[in-house]
A and B are shown apart, each in its own frame.
Chain A
Amino acid sequence: MISLLAVTTATDPLSYAGPAWSPYVVGALIGVLSWLTFYFSDKAIGASSAYANVAGAIGRLVSRRHTDSLDYFKNNPPKLNWELTLVIGVLIGSFVAAWTGHEMTGEWLPPMWQARFGANSYILRMIAAFAGGLLMAFGARLGGGCTSGHGISGTLQLSVGSWIAVVCFFLGGIPVAMLLFGI
């Protein structure tokens, strides 16, 4: 009974550490950052297309002819661009924030995942992470953006399609998350 209770608590997200900074401060600063990207780079923040860029570059190494024949890569030829350096920057910025804030994790399994699926559920996590990434990238390309491109940049410009997409992110995500955690 005690162990059952412990498991129940460990799958509650609120039993783990919260954010280092207030979400309102972080959100406001991201809003200001979006002013800067519009002003200095004539760009809106987005993350998902960088992955397509790299996928195309790898595809070209394997089969240049086939990759170049695909409609998406005809219109978006893979290259080192602003979107890609932005995503590389995110990796570096996060590292700096975590390192200086003593929040480095260095773990293959998140604690809440372990509490739900077991301490040795490496293969299951590998499959879920890979499948999740695959669906996200496919969905983002089909839907025209991700949680950054639609979720922040598109919504702040009041794009109807972006608001539809964000609602669908949650409509698609909530039931799957609840199934995963047995709620």
Chain B
Amino acid sequence: MKSTNSGKVSGAGRQLLLGLVFGGIFGFLLQKGGVGKYHILIGQLLLRDFTVAKVMGTAIVVGMLGVFVMHWMGVVKLHIKATRIGANTIGGLIFGAGFALSAYCPGTNMTALGQGNLDALFVVAGMLAGSYLYAEVSGLTKGSIEKWGNRGELTLPDLLSIPRKPFVAMFAVAIVAGLVALAKLTIR
């Protein structure tokens, strides 16, 4: 790690430690949520076990309310990823196919490994290879696929021309309704 001055070092060191702590909490929660388990993850893609959707849906609604309220209070910045329709679609489909083969996604793979699922080691190896392979072609994709449908930091309320505050409120209600429906319609 390079550092230019001592003030930066302590700040950077603090952030590395915070990353470790937040990661620790994240991993603890993922394991308790059962999403390090092979059958729960593949069960979601087989549309039999909806644990993953329930965890994600609840995290999204709680996270959205807190992050937007803090943003409106002026205490946090948003980190909205650019919408690139071509790359999001093609990359997303490739990711999904890989997810089904491994059943562990990048975060839950470390959860699986942490609880002793040793096959996750091969997923780690595959991810290192896949990351490097992407880097090999990143010059090409940047000039092609990643330009298709590049809409910048586009959000759902922008797209629908609805002001953000009422949209967040309505969307929270919609997600909660979806979660209630999931709870009623699914066995797990």
Contacts and interface: CB of A to CB of B under 8 A. Distances in A.
Q: Do A and B originate from a single complex?
A: yes
Interface of A: 12-14, 16-21, 23-24, 26-45, 47-48, 50-52, 54-56, 58-59, 67, 70-73, 79-98, 101, 103-113, 125-126, 128-178, 180-181, 183
A183 B43 CA distance: 12
Interface of B: 1-2, 15-40, 42-43, 45-49, 51, 54-67, 70, 75-85, 87-120, 122-136, 138-139, 141-142, 145-146, 151, 153-159, 164, 167-168, 171, 179, 187-188
A180 B98 CA distance: 12
Nearest to B43: A13
A167 B90 CA distance: 11
Contacts of B46: 13, 174, 177-178, 181, 183
Contacts of A55: 127-129, 131-132, 135
Contacts, number: 560
Instruction: Tell me if B's interface is mostly helix, strand, loop or mixed.
Output: helix
Contacts of A54: 128, 131
A140 B70 contact: no
A73 B39 CA distance: 35
B135 to A, nearest CB: 4
Contacts of A163: 156
B84 A98 contact: no
A44 B110 CA distance: 18
